[in-house]
Amino acid sequence: MKKQFIVLIAAVLMAVAWQASTAFGENQVEDVWFDFFKKDKDEKESTPDHAEEKRLHKHEAWIKYKAEELGIETEGKDLKTLAKEVSEANLLSKAEELGISTDGKELKDLYKEVHQAKVLKEAEELGIESEGKDPKALAKEVMDEKLVKKADELGIETEGKDKKELLEEVKMAILEKEADEYGVDIEGKKHHEIVMELHEAKIYDSAEKLGIETEGKEANEILSEIFEGYADEAKQLKIFPFEDNQDKFYFEHHMKEHD
Protein backbone atom coordinates (compact mmCIF):
# COMPACT_ATOMS: atom_id res chain seq x y z
CA MET A 1 0.00 0.00 0.00
CA LYS A 2 2.84 2.38 0.90
CA LYS A 3 4.59 1.63 -2.40
CA GLN A 4 1.39 2.47 -4.27
CA PHE A 5 1.10 5.77 -2.40
CA ILE A 6 4.72 6.69 -3.18
CA VAL A 7 4.08 6.09 -6.89
CA LEU A 8 1.00 8.32 -6.71
CA ILE A 9 2.84 11.08 -4.86
CA ALA A 10 5.68 10.89 -7.35
CA ALA A 11 3.17 11.43 -10.14
CA VAL A 12 2.06 14.66 -8.47
CA LEU A 13 5.51 15.92 -7.58
CA MET A 14 6.89 15.37 -11.05
CA ALA A 15 3.83 16.62 -12.87
CA VAL A 16 3.75 19.98 -14.71
CA ALA A 17 4.93 21.86 -17.63
CA TRP A 18 6.16 19.59 -20.35
CA GLN A 19 3.25 17.92 -22.03
CA ALA A 20 4.42 14.89 -23.98
CA SER A 21 3.82 11.17 -23.82
CA THR A 22 5.55 8.44 -21.82
CA ALA A 23 6.84 5.09 -22.99
CA PHE A 24 9.33 3.63 -20.57
CA GLY A 25 7.72 0.81 -18.66
CA GLU A 26 4.95 0.11 -16.21
CA ASN A 27 6.50 2.00 -13.29
CA GLN A 28 7.29 5.19 -15.18
CA VAL A 29 5.09 8.03 -13.96
CA GLU A 30 3.54 10.39 -16.44
CA ASP A 31 4.06 14.10 -16.96
CA VAL A 32 7.60 14.13 -15.68
CA TRP A 33 9.84 17.15 -15.42
CA PHE A 34 8.83 19.45 -12.61
CA ASP A 35 11.57 19.82 -10.02
CA PHE A 36 13.86 17.27 -11.69
CA PHE A 37 14.20 15.48 -8.36
CA LYS A 38 17.68 16.70 -7.64
CA LYS A 39 19.40 14.51 -5.06
CA ASP A 40 19.77 16.98 -2.22
CA LYS A 41 22.88 16.24 -0.19
CA ASP A 42 21.11 17.03 3.07
CA GLU A 43 18.48 14.37 2.40
CA LYS A 44 20.94 11.46 2.29
CA GLU A 45 20.63 10.76 5.99
CA SER A 46 16.98 11.74 6.28
CA THR A 47 14.30 9.18 6.96
CA PRO A 48 12.10 8.32 3.95
CA ASP A 49 9.15 10.09 5.59
CA HIS A 50 11.21 13.21 6.26
CA ALA A 51 12.55 13.25 2.70
CA GLU A 52 9.01 12.85 1.35
CA GLU A 53 7.80 15.71 3.54
CA LYS A 54 10.57 17.98 2.22
CA ARG A 55 9.74 17.14 -1.39
CA LEU A 56 6.06 17.80 -0.77
CA HIS A 57 6.84 21.16 0.80
CA LYS A 58 8.95 22.15 -2.21
CA HIS A 59 5.95 21.52 -4.44
CA GLU A 60 3.24 22.95 -2.20
CA ALA A 61 2.25 25.73 -4.61
CA TRP A 62 1.99 23.29 -7.52
CA ILE A 63 -0.03 20.75 -5.54
CA LYS A 64 -2.49 23.42 -4.42
CA TYR A 65 -2.70 24.81 -7.93
CA LYS A 66 -3.51 21.38 -9.36
CA ALA A 67 -6.04 20.77 -6.58
CA GLU A 68 -7.93 23.92 -7.53
CA GLU A 69 -7.70 23.05 -11.21
CA LEU A 70 -9.17 19.60 -10.51
CA GLY A 71 -11.91 20.99 -8.23
CA ILE A 72 -10.50 19.49 -5.03
CA GLU A 73 -11.26 21.21 -1.72
CA THR A 74 -8.01 22.22 -0.01
CA GLU A 75 -9.30 23.68 3.24
CA GLY A 76 -8.14 21.84 6.36
CA LYS A 77 -6.09 19.20 4.54
CA ASP A 78 -2.42 18.49 5.13
CA LEU A 79 -0.14 18.47 2.11
CA LYS A 80 0.30 14.69 2.05
CA THR A 81 -3.45 14.12 1.92
CA LEU A 82 -3.91 16.80 -0.72
CA ALA A 83 -1.12 15.38 -2.87
CA LYS A 84 -2.71 11.94 -2.72
CA GLU A 85 -6.10 13.34 -3.75
CA VAL A 86 -4.57 15.32 -6.60
CA SER A 87 -2.69 12.30 -7.95
CA GLU A 88 -5.80 10.12 -7.79
CA ALA A 89 -7.98 12.76 -9.45
CA ASN A 90 -5.37 13.29 -12.15
CA LEU A 91 -5.23 9.56 -12.86
CA LEU A 92 -9.03 9.35 -13.09
CA SER A 93 -9.04 12.34 -15.42
CA LYS A 94 -6.45 10.73 -17.70
CA ALA A 95 -8.42 7.49 -17.75
CA GLU A 96 -11.60 9.33 -18.71
CA GLU A 97 -9.71 11.23 -21.41
CA LEU A 98 -8.56 7.91 -22.88
CA GLY A 99 -12.02 6.34 -22.66
CA ILE A 100 -11.01 3.88 -19.93
CA SER A 101 -13.64 2.76 -17.44
CA THR A 102 -12.60 3.35 -13.82
CA ASP A 103 -15.41 1.46 -12.09
CA GLY A 104 -14.22 -0.93 -9.39
CA LYS A 105 -10.56 -0.74 -10.37
CA GLU A 106 -7.60 -0.47 -8.02
CA LEU A 107 -5.52 2.64 -8.64
CA LYS A 108 -2.37 0.66 -9.47
CA ASP A 109 -4.31 -1.39 -12.05
CA LEU A 110 -5.87 1.74 -13.51
CA TYR A 111 -2.49 3.43 -13.77
CA LYS A 112 -1.12 0.40 -15.62
CA GLU A 113 -4.09 0.47 -18.00
CA VAL A 114 -3.70 4.21 -18.65
CA HIS A 115 0.00 3.78 -19.33
CA GLN A 116 -0.61 0.92 -21.76
CA ALA A 117 -3.29 2.92 -23.58
CA LYS A 118 -0.86 5.80 -24.06
CA VAL A 119 1.81 3.44 -25.37
CA LEU A 120 -0.67 1.95 -27.86
CA LYS A 121 -1.64 5.43 -29.01
CA GLU A 122 1.99 6.38 -29.54
CA ALA A 123 2.74 3.13 -31.33
CA GLU A 124 -0.07 3.88 -33.77
CA GLU A 125 1.22 7.43 -34.32
CA LEU A 126 4.71 6.08 -35.01
CA GLY A 127 3.44 3.37 -37.35
CA ILE A 128 4.52 0.55 -35.04
CA GLU A 129 2.53 -2.68 -35.21
CA SER A 130 1.18 -3.49 -31.72
CA GLU A 131 -0.95 -6.55 -32.40
CA GLY A 132 0.04 -9.50 -30.17
CA LYS A 133 3.03 -7.76 -28.59
CA ASP A 134 3.89 -7.85 -24.90
CA PRO A 135 3.15 -4.41 -23.34
CA LYS A 136 6.69 -4.01 -22.00
CA ALA A 137 8.23 -5.00 -25.33
CA LEU A 138 5.94 -2.56 -27.15
CA ALA A 139 6.82 0.26 -24.72
CA LYS A 140 10.52 -0.37 -25.36
CA GLU A 141 9.97 -0.39 -29.11
CA VAL A 142 8.14 2.93 -28.89
CA MET A 143 10.93 4.39 -26.77
CA ASP A 144 13.62 3.19 -29.19
CA GLU A 145 11.80 4.57 -32.21
CA LYS A 146 11.32 7.98 -30.58
CA LEU A 147 14.96 8.04 -29.57
CA VAL A 148 16.22 7.32 -33.09
CA LYS A 149 13.88 9.91 -34.57
CA LYS A 150 15.06 12.55 -32.14
CA ALA A 151 18.70 11.69 -32.81
CA ASP A 152 18.10 12.10 -36.53
CA GLU A 153 16.42 15.45 -35.89
CA LEU A 154 19.44 16.62 -33.89
CA GLY A 155 21.90 15.38 -36.50
CA ILE A 156 23.31 12.67 -34.23
CA GLU A 157 24.76 9.57 -35.88
CA THR A 158 22.91 6.44 -34.71
CA GLU A 159 24.82 3.73 -36.57
CA GLY A 160 26.58 1.23 -34.28
CA LYS A 161 25.49 2.83 -31.02
CA ASP A 162 23.57 1.07 -28.29
CA LYS A 163 20.45 2.78 -26.97
CA LYS A 164 22.02 3.88 -23.69
CA GLU A 165 24.86 5.64 -25.48
CA LEU A 166 22.48 7.23 -27.95
CA LEU A 167 20.17 8.41 -25.19
CA GLU A 168 23.07 10.12 -23.42
CA GLU A 169 24.02 11.94 -26.61
CA VAL A 170 20.44 13.02 -27.27
CA LYS A 171 19.97 14.30 -23.71
CA MET A 172 23.19 16.28 -23.82
CA ALA A 173 22.36 17.77 -27.22
CA ILE A 174 18.98 18.93 -25.94
CA LEU A 175 20.54 20.38 -22.80
CA GLU A 176 23.26 22.17 -24.74
CA LYS A 177 20.67 23.76 -27.00
CA GLU A 178 18.59 25.02 -24.08
CA ALA A 179 21.62 26.03 -22.04
CA ASP A 180 22.78 28.21 -24.92
CA GLU A 181 19.32 29.76 -25.17
CA TYR A 182 19.19 30.61 -21.46
CA GLY A 183 22.85 31.49 -20.98
CA VAL A 184 23.67 28.54 -18.73
CA ASP A 185 27.33 27.47 -18.59
CA ILE A 186 27.58 23.68 -18.95
CA GLU A 187 31.35 23.26 -18.86
CA GLY A 188 32.34 20.33 -16.64
CA LYS A 189 28.83 19.81 -15.30
CA LYS A 190 26.77 16.63 -15.10
CA HIS A 191 23.36 16.31 -16.73
CA HIS A 192 21.32 16.75 -13.56
CA GLU A 193 23.37 19.81 -12.57
CA ILE A 194 22.67 21.43 -15.92
CA VAL A 195 19.01 20.51 -15.62
CA MET A 196 18.76 22.21 -12.24
CA GLU A 197 20.47 25.37 -13.50
CA LEU A 198 18.16 25.46 -16.52
CA HIS A 199 15.20 25.05 -14.20
CA GLU A 200 16.30 28.09 -12.21
CA ALA A 201 17.14 30.13 -15.31
CA LYS A 202 13.69 29.44 -16.73
CA ILE A 203 12.03 30.56 -13.50
CA TYR A 204 13.82 33.92 -13.58
CA ASP A 205 13.12 34.28 -17.29
CA SER A 206 9.41 33.69 -16.69
CA ALA A 207 9.41 36.13 -13.79
CA GLU A 208 10.87 38.84 -16.02
CA LYS A 209 8.26 38.20 -18.71
CA LEU A 210 5.48 38.29 -16.12
CA GLY A 211 6.76 41.43 -14.41
CA ILE A 212 7.50 39.70 -11.10
CA GLU A 213 10.04 41.30 -8.77
CA THR A 214 12.87 38.83 -8.13
CA GLU A 215 15.23 40.83 -5.92
CA GLY A 216 16.14 38.85 -2.79
CA LYS A 217 13.89 35.90 -3.68
CA GLU A 218 14.82 32.23 -4.06
CA ALA A 219 13.88 30.48 -7.30
CA ASN A 220 11.31 28.21 -5.64
CA GLU A 221 9.73 31.23 -3.96
CA ILE A 222 9.33 32.88 -7.36
CA LEU A 223 7.92 29.67 -8.82
CA SER A 224 5.31 29.56 -6.05
CA GLU A 225 4.40 33.15 -6.88
CA ILE A 226 3.91 32.21 -10.53
CA PHE A 227 1.55 29.38 -9.61
CA GLU A 228 -0.39 31.45 -7.12
CA GLY A 229 -0.86 34.64 -9.08
CA TYR A 230 0.30 34.35 -12.67
CA ALA A 231 -0.62 30.83 -13.83
CA ASP A 232 -3.17 31.90 -16.44
CA GLU A 233 -0.82 34.48 -17.95
CA ALA A 234 2.09 32.03 -17.95
CA LYS A 235 -0.09 29.46 -19.73
CA GLN A 236 -1.08 31.98 -22.38
CA LEU A 237 2.55 32.89 -22.95
CA LYS A 238 3.57 29.20 -22.88
CA ILE A 239 6.46 29.93 -20.58
CA PHE A 240 7.90 27.88 -17.74
CA PRO A 241 6.36 26.09 -15.90
CA PHE A 242 3.73 25.83 -18.64
CA GLU A 243 5.96 25.67 -21.68
CA ASP A 244 5.12 23.30 -24.49
CA ASN A 245 8.28 21.20 -24.59
CA GLN A 246 8.33 18.07 -26.70
CA ASP A 247 11.64 16.81 -25.33
CA LYS A 248 10.24 15.75 -21.96
CA PHE A 249 10.43 12.11 -23.02
CA TYR A 250 14.22 12.02 -22.94
CA PHE A 251 14.43 13.55 -19.49
CA GLU A 252 11.94 11.09 -18.04
CA HIS A 253 14.55 8.46 -18.65
CA HIS A 254 17.21 10.77 -17.24
CA MET A 255 15.29 11.15 -13.98
CA LYS A 256 14.62 7.44 -13.77
CA GLU A 257 18.37 6.85 -13.94
CA HIS A 258 19.09 9.38 -11.17
CA ASP A 259 16.27 8.33 -8.86
pLDDT value of position 245: 66
Alpha helices (runs of H) in the chain, residue ranges in sequence order? 2-13, 48-58, 60-69, 79-97, 107-126, 135-154, 163-182, 191-210, 219-229, 231-237, 248-258
pTM above 0.85, yes or no: no
18-27, 154-163, 235-244: least confident range:
18-27
- CB neighbours of residue 161 within 10 Å: 15
- Note if the bond before 241 is cis, omega within 30 degrees: yes
Q: Is 80 exceeded by the pLDDT of residue 22? A: no
Each residue's pLDDT tens digit, 98-141: 999 999 999 999 999 999 999 999 999 999 999 999 999 999 99
Each residue's pLDDT tens digit, 174-188: 999 999 999 999 999
pLDDT value of position 118: 92
- Whole-number Å distance between alpha carbons of 253 and 183: 25
For 23, list phi and psi in degrees, rounded to 5: -165, 55
Helix then strand then coil, in percent of the chain rounded to 5, is 65, 0, 35
Each residue's pLDDT tens digit, 193-224: 998 999 999 999 999 999 999 999 999 899 99
For 90, list phi and psi in degrees, rounded to 5: -65, -40
**Residue ranges per structural domain of the chain:** 2-258
- Whole-number Å distance between alpha carbons of 246 and 240: 13
Yes or no: say if 44 and 22 are a contact pair by the CB < 8 Å rule.
no
pLDDT value of position 28: 34
Confidence bin at 48 (pLDDT 50/70/90): low
pLDDT value of position 256: 45
Kind plus residue range of the DSSP H or E element containing 220: helix 219-229
Q: CA angle 18-75-226, nearest 5°?
A: 35
What per-residue string of b and e applies to 10-33 under the rule 16 or more CB within 10 Å gives b? bbbbbbbbbebbbbbeeebbbbbb
pLDDT value of position 58: 74
pLDDT value of position 37: 34
pLDDT value of position 56: 81
Q: Is 50 exceeded by the pLDDT of residue 24? A: no
Nearest Cα neighbor of 90 from 74, 115, 112, 66 is 66
SS3 labels along 142-195: HHHHHHHHHHHHHCCCCCCCCHHHHHHHHHHHHHHHHHHHHCCCCCCCCHHHHH
Mean pLDDT of the chain: 80
73-77, 89-93, 240-244: least confident range:
240-244
